[in-house]
Amino acid sequence: MTKKWISRNCDDCEAKEGELHKMGCSVEMCSICGRQLISCGHVSQDGEYKKLLFRVPYVRVPNICALCGEQWPQVFKVAQATWKKYVIPELQHTVLCRECYEELKRMFPEGWRNVINV
């Protein structure tokens, strides 16, 4: 059986999919808290992985728009206050493509908090 996605090495340490990241890789995620391993505090000061029960092998996980499912939508910037005005709370911590974000702005021209039931 062939897999459905295209493999790509880690952008930081060049680990292949299925391998562990190299020590100090900025892409490796912590198996305890799920945050960036080199900055979460679960690695000792000397770079040892003593606190971890296991390390998670690298698999490239795509960014996906939470509304339409587009993979790897182009990154765009929006001020946090503007994002919170138009993007409902359930979606505020997800990835959205620009087109879906603009659709939310059209749907809620005064912001989602100002929707009035008729």
Residuewise pLDDT in 10s, the chain (118 residues): 676 777 889 999 999 999 999 988 999 998 888 889 888 888 876 666 767 788 889 998 889 999 999 998 999 999 999 999 999 999 999 999 999 999 999 999 999 999 887 7
Q: Do the domain assignments include residue 40?
A: yes
- Say yes or no: 81 and 33 in one domain: no
Helix (H) / strand (E) element for 87: namely none
Instruction: Give the structural domain span for 66.
Output: 62-118
Q: What angle do CA 94, 57, 10 make, to 5 degrees?
A: 70
Count of domains observed in the chain: 2
- Say yes or no: 68 and 53 in one domain: no
Question: Closest by alpha carbon to 5, among 52, 45, 92, 64?
Answer: 64
Question: Closest by alpha carbon to 48, among 38, 61, 34?
Answer: 38
The C-alpha atoms of residue 108 and residue 118 are separated, in whole angstroms, by 15
Q: Do the domain assignments include residue 24?
A: yes
Structure tokens of 81?
A: 């206050």
Q: Do the domain assignments include residue 1?
A: no
Q: Do the domain assignments include residue 3?
A: no
Within 1-118, residue ranges assigned H as helices are 37-40, 80-86, 98-107
User: What is the separation, in whole angstroms, between the first and last Cα of the chain?
Assistant: 53
Give the distance, in angstroms, between the CA of residue 31 and the centroid of all CA atoms in the same chain: 16
Q: Do the domain assignments include residue 2?
A: no
- Say yes or no: 30 and 53 in one domain: yes
- Say yes or no: 28 and 67 in one domain: no
- Say yes or no: 67 and 116 in one domain: yes
Look at residue 45 in the predicted model and tell me its pLDDT: 67
- Say yes or no: 76 and 53 in one domain: no
Residue ending a domain, choose from 61, 80, 99: 61
Structure tokens of 63?
A: 């960014």
